[in-house]
Amino acid sequence: MKNKHFPQIISPDGHSISLPAVSDNAVKIVQELKCAGYEAHLVGGCVRDLLLDRTPKDFDIATDAQPEEIKSIFRGCRLIGRRFRLAHVRKNGEVIEVATYRAAPSPTDDVDEDRTHIADHGQVLRDNVYGTQQDDVLRRDFTINALYFDPQEQSVRDFVGGIADLEKRVIRTIGDPLERLRQDPVRMLRAVRFAAKLEFNIDPAMLTATSELAALLLHVPPARMLDEVIKLFHGGYALRTYDMLREYGLFRYIFPFTEQCLDGITPNLSSLALANTDNRIQLGKPVIPAFLFACLLWDPLQADVHKLQDGGMDSRRAWSVAASDAVRDQAQHVAIPRRFVIVIKDIWALQPLLEQRSPKSIHRILGHKRFRAAYDLMLLRTEVNEIKSEIAQWWTRIQDADQQERESMIRGLRETTPKRGRRRKRKSRAA
């Protein structure tokens, strides 16, 4: 794929980017690279967001300077990455990513003896090939992410019709969608993420390619899928993303066991959890991936618990086995770090205790470091009628109660809890 066209150059009076909206540190880095004799432009999502009058999350720079050359210019520079070397330049406390222009690898560069099973599916395995700005454009995923902004001239360079697609509000691949999605199936997820975030439509040709190639997501390394899942669901538009993933047949390749449990009833616990995540982000409250996993895997966990109990396993053992199996099976598709697993299992283990409300356990449960997360899951379960609302109301009330009221509430539990018959002690036999 070769770009034979010169870029369309949009002058300052032809676009809406306001220079004060651009990071001063990013502008200074571009200036220093140019002073050293190199090309440099702001590129990608930051240019897209500036043109849409959105505040960019971060600012990226593309240049023809190679990583070691970038490092020699900036004192606060650190080189990262193995697949493709990048420079992180720290200036006034802000970290700006500076990437060297990339080119399409030659056929021999696509071969990796350690990962030939991935190469068989058409994915590009090596990416550390440098090129020109025109080469770099063709390595990017979507037209709206392939715009270059020169903060000195305040002009925008558009090689692939990105400005037109911004105006049409459409996500379109650069080049043939079948080829580009085969090269990197994660682009299907990125398209959904951008469409949900920006409220854009996805190009029909890309949707057709997605329906044909969706199963290639099964060949993406689980560790990379974890990064993508966090981006998908922790951006503030998780519910919209989830609905689109299901509509386009992609969710089943990310959370296959959850998909099997969805019966078409809405809202379900997964959708409620994602809506809750969006609300927390909008309110500036913290969100943790482990809680989201605990919610998304709750239905498969429940199904396994019931199956094990029907097979004669006692409840406590069934919960333990099902929890381990649910995490292990999901990790084949999306990696779940051990630090997440500990939190997930704690949240699950507290659910039966919250339902039972044993008077002896109340103080211990309230003091548990995962109580709040477990309580939030319990509230979601109440909304889908898994738990009686009076139980959730009781736990809500006791959190705000003073010591005297708490003790009164616990005494009330003792009075309403059926008493078990006391076991008679056996007399020890004389030797």
Residue 201, phi then psi, degrees to nearest 5: -95, 155
Asked whether the predicted pLDDT for residue 125 surpasses 60, the reply is: no
Angle (CA) 223-146-87 rounded to 5° is 55
Tokens of 328: 């292990």
pTM of the complete model = 0.87
Asked whether the predicted pLDDT for residue 198 surpasses 60, the reply is: yes
Q: Which of 49, 141, 158, 299 is catalytic?
A: 141
| Residue 419 pLDDT level (bands cut at 50, 70, 90) | low
Give the model's pLDDT for residue 6: 77
**376-402 residue pLDDT tens:** 999 999 999 999 999 999 999 999 999
| Residue 106 pLDDT level (bands cut at 50, 70, 90) | low
Q: Which of 58, 64, 109, 110 is catalytic?
A: 58
CA quadruple 229, 232, 237, 241: dihedral positive or negative? negative
Angle (CA) 185-251-384 rounded to 5° is 165
381, 328 contact by CB (below 8 A):
no
In three-state secondary structure terms, 377 is helix
* Alpha carbon distance 6, 15 (integer Å): 19
121, 170 contact by CB (below 8 A):
no
Angle (CA) 118-119-121 rounded to 5° is 70
Identify the burial level of 394 via C-beta atoms within 10 angstroms of its C-beta, where 0-12 means exposed, 13-18 middle and 19 or more buried: middle
* Alpha carbon distance 10, 300 (integer Å): 52
- Beta-sheet pairing, 77-80 with 60-63: unpaired
Give the model's pLDDT for residue 424: 53
Tokens of 200: 């854009």
Q: Is pLDDT larger for residue 232 or for residue 108?
A: 232
* Alpha carbon distance 71, 396 (integer Å): 55
* Alpha carbon distance 219, 193 (integer Å): 20
Q: Verify whether residue 110 is a known catalytic residue.
A: no
pLDDT > 70 in the chain, percent: 90
In three-state secondary structure terms, 201 is strand
Give the model's pLDDT for residue 287: 94
Which residues is 91 bridged to in the sheet?
94
| Residue 416 pLDDT level (bands cut at 50, 70, 90) | confident
Cis peptide before 185 (omega within 30 of 0): no
Mean pLDDT of 288-295: 97
**333-376 residue pLDDT tens:** 999 999 999 999 999 999 999 999 999 999 999 999 999 999 99
Domains of the chain (ranges; CATH) run 1-169 (3.30.460.10), 222-240+248-414 (1.10.3090.10)
Q: Verify whether residue 203 is a known catalytic residue.
A: no
Q: Which of 60, 136, 158, 278 is catalytic?
A: 60
Q: Verify whether residue 141 is a known catalytic residue.
A: yes
* Alpha carbon distance 284, 15 (integer Å): 32
